[in-house]
Amino acid sequence: MRSIWAGSIAFGLVNVPVKAYGATQDHDVDLHQVHDADGGRIRYQRRCEVCGKKINYGHIEKAFDDGDRTVVLSEEDIESLPAEKSREIDVVQFVPNNQIDPIMLERSYYLEPDSKSPKAYRLLVKTLENTELTAVVKFALRQKTRLGVLRVSGKVLVLQGILWADEVRDTSFLDSSGTAKISAQELKMSSALVDQFRGDFNPSDFADDYQLELRSLIDEKIKHGDSLDTAATFGDEEEAEKEGNSGGNVIDLMEALKRSVDQKRARAATQGDSTKKGASGTSTAKKSATKAKPTGAEKMTAKSSASKKTAAKGKSTAKKPAAKKTAVTATRKGA
C-alpha cells in the first residue's frame, strides 16, 4: 500500500520520521446516475449562473459567500496562508487517555517508522503505553491545519484527527431530562434487560446488510443479462498526497531527550521568576501593552494597505485575465 503522507513527529528536540497510511476504507458499493434509456452517464457541467457560459478549470476560483456578498480568493491568496505545507506532526501536550471525548474523533491513519533506525519510534510507543497518555498534536494534511491525537494501537502509532472545539455543538439547546420520574423498580428491570445483552465487542460479528443485499442484487442482474455494455469510465477525482522528505534522523536520542527536558525546566523556571515580580511592575507592563495595541482603525488601515500591495503584485506577475486578479465583492440581487 502506498503511503499518503510522509513527515516526522516532533516533541522537544526529538524527531521521529514516519509515513502515514489510511487506517480505514469505505465498503459502500459505488453508484452513479445514468440515462434510463441507454445507460449513458449523466455529467454535470461547470456553468456560470451569471453569464450562462461553460467555465473551464483555468477560470475557476474558490470564494466565500455570506448570502449578500461574494469574496473571491485566488490561488495566490490561498497559497499565502501559513502552515498548510508543514511536514511535521507537532506534539503540543500529553493528556490522560480518558480526556478525549469520542465525539471529537475523525479519520485515523497508521504511522510506520521511516528511518533506518526505528529506535525513536519504538521509544515513543513504549512511553505512551507506560504512561497511559495520549499526545495532542497539530499537523497539516491536504492543505488544512488540523488538530489530532497520537495514540498506540497494538504495536503501532495511530494518528487520529479530532474536531476543533468550535466544531462540536453544545448540548444546552437540548432538553433530555424532562420531568419524568424513574422508580426503583423500573431502573431494576431496565438493568436486568441490559444484562441480557451484555457481551464483549467484536467488530467482525457485525455486517452491513444493506450493502451485502445491494451487491447481491447487482450480481443477480448481471447473471440474468440485465445489464448494458457502455464505454463509460468510472473516474474518481480523489486527491493523492505526494510523499515528501521525512526529516532528519535522530543522531543521539538520549542527548535530544536530555536537552528537551532541560529546556522545559529552564522555561518553567523563567516563568516562575516572572510571576514573583511586584504588582506595580505588572500593572505598568499591562498599561504599556495596552497602549502599544493598535486600534481597530489602525488594523483596518494596515489590512487595506496589505491588500493593495498584494493586488498590485498580482497585476504585474499573474498570467490570468485581469478580472480574476482582484478579490471580487458582488451584491446578490433578489429573484
The pLDDT tens digits of the residues spanning 215-252 come to 899 898 888 888 777 654 444 444 433 333 444 444 46
- Residue 178 has a pLDDT of 67
Residue 112 lies in a domain: yes
Distance CA 38, CA 51 (A): 32
What is the DSSP annotation of 47-97?
B-TTT--B--GGG--EEEE-SSEEEEE-HHHHHTSSSTT--EEEEEEEEEG
Distance CA 235, CA 238 (A): 9
Which structural domain range is residue 127 located in?
5-25+82-164
Residue 204 lies in a domain: no
Number of domains, the chain:
1
Distance CA 246, CA 115 (A): 8
Distance CA 307, CA 301 (A): 10
Residue 90 lies in a domain: yes
Give the pLDDT band (50/70/90) at residue 177: low
Nearest to 327 by CA among 301, 299, 307: 307
pLDDT single digits (tens) 262-290: 887 788 778 766 666 554 454 444 444 44
> Looking at per-residue confidence, does 185 or 178 come out higher?
185
Residue 124 lies in a domain: yes
Residue 66 lies in a domain: no
pLDDT single digits (tens) 2-56: 888 888 998 888 889 999 999 988 888 888 898 988 888 898 889 998 899 999 9
Residue 138 lies in a domain: yes
Give the pLDDT band (50/70/90) at residue 292: very low
pLDDT single digits (tens) 99-145: 999 999 999 999 999 988 888 999 999 999 999 999 999 998 877 88
Instruction: Give pTM, 2 decimals.
Output: 0.60
Q: Residue 113 belongs to a domain with what CATH number?
A: 2.40.290.10
Q: In sequence order, which residues have a C-beta less than 8 Å from that of residue 262 and are 6 or more positions away?
A: none
Cell for 232?
463509460
pLDDT single digits (tens) 305-334: 544 444 444 444 444 444 443 433 444 444
Query: How do strand 156-162 and strand 329-331 relate by DSSP bridges?
Result: unpaired
Contact predicate 127/167, CB 8 Å? no
Residue 110 lies in a domain: yes
- Residue 266 has a pLDDT of 82
Residue 10 lies in a domain: yes
